[in-house]
């Protein structure tokens, strides 16, 4: 099987703060939850939810790219259910696309489905299943 | 089983740029790889590697917290091997701790092992196995 390698450097900044630097020098700063950390960055588990949202979001924009002018806004709500006791891993995910614009629900649902089933490398790297929802112009559109 | 929920909101910023906002209002901005995106943020797969580094890094600092004054610097190099063809998911991970300081290798290795086996929720949320390495003051210390 053909493979590629991706490398990232993350530096400890003191206390519980860690900063990772990615392409273009952009950084991701993380901290422990309140009470342990001082809210100087995202929780690592929030960063994981964000990576999932960015991944499926980019796929959907790519698949719909001839129609993105018709999308006024796109927001992705990523919910993860996690175990309360260690290891507190994610047990399931729900990714809700909240879209405003003059676009057919079927087209957006198709793009989400193709991303989830064939493309999104983050979703495919996770143990737990990901369920997708679409709320288009304030109305729930059910995914197949 | 007792569970908790974690929610994150991510907004599309146009082109392939997405920004997620976490605790304390801190954000994670992501973009597609060069050629598709414009390097306006991390790749989602880089954000995933960063979340893994932050997660095990915080555990190790927590476990070694009475000794962190003896750590001059701590850097975490996260390498992921991913499939070249879709879905380009991660197949394996190597997390290398690069530590400088007057601390015993056994203590750091123990902290890494406890995090990897019992705690780090990001590592436990991933399908692929994670292998850990420690380079202490320029020398490889083998993990058990």
Pairing status of strand B27-30 against strand B18-21: antiparallel
Distance, CA of B78 to CA of A69 (rounded, Å) = 37
Name the closest residue on chain B to residue A11, using Cα atoms. B75
Co-location of A134 and A87 in the same domain = yes
Amino acid B142: pLDDT: 75
Q: Which of B53, B127, B28 is nearest to A76 (CA)?
A: B28
What ipTM was reported for this prediction? 0.97
Tens digit of pLDDT for each residue in B12-50? 999 999 999 999 999 999 999 999 999 999 999 999 999
Q: Check whether residue A27 and residue A66 sit in a common domain.
A: no
**Contact at CB, B90 and A121, closer than 8 angstroms:** yes
Domain that residue B20 falls in: 1-42
Q: Indicate yes or no: CB of A78 within 8 angstroms of CB of B125.
A: no
Q: The dihedral of CA A143, B3, B4, B6: what is its sign?
A: negative
Phi, psi of A37 (to 5 degrees): -90, -175
Q: Which residue of B has its CA nearest to A123?
A: B89
Residues B75 and B121 in one domain: yes
- Examine the domain organization and report whether A8 and A37 are in the same domain: yes
Residue A117, phi-psi category: left (phi > 0), alpha (psi -120 to 50), beta (remainder):
alpha
Evaluate whether A42 touches B22 at the Cβ level (below 8 Å).
Answer: yes
Residues A34 and A52 in one domain: no
SS3 category, A113:
helix
Cβ-nearest to B53 among A6, A10, A85:
A10
CATH number at residue B71: 3.30.300.20
pTM (two decimals): 0.97
A-B Cβ pairs (cutoff 8 Å, strict): 325
Per-residue pLDDT of chain B (144 residues; tens, 9 = 90+): 999 999 999 999 999 999 999 999 999 999 999 999 999 999 999 999 999 999 999 999 999 999 999 999 999 999 999 999 999 999 999 999 999 999 999 999 999 999 999 999 999 999 999 999 999 999 999 755
A75–B12 CB contact, under 8 Å:
yes
User: Looking at the structure, do residues B38 and B64 belong to the same domain, yes or no?
Assistant: no
Provide the β-strand partners of residue A97.
Answer: A76, A134
Number of domains in chain A: 2
């Amino acid at each position: 099987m053909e493979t590629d390698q991706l490398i990232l450097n993350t530096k400890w900044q003191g206390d519980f703060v860690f900063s990772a630097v990615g392409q273009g020098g952009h950084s991701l700063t993380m901290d422990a939850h309140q009470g342990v950390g001082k809210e100087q960055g995202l929780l690592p588990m929030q960063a994981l939810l964000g990576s999932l949202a960015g991944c499926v979001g980019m796929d959907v924009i790519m698949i719909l790219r001839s129609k993105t002018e018709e999308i006024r806004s796109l927001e992705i709500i990523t919910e993860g259910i996690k175990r309360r006791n260690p290891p507190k891993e994610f047990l399931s995910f729900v990714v809700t696309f909240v879209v405003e614009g003059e676009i057919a629900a079927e087209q957006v649902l198709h793009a989400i489905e193709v991303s989830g089933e064939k493309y999104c490398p983050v979703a495919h790297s996770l143990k737990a299943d990901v369920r997708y929802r679409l709320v288009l112009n304030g109305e729930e559109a059910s995914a197949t």
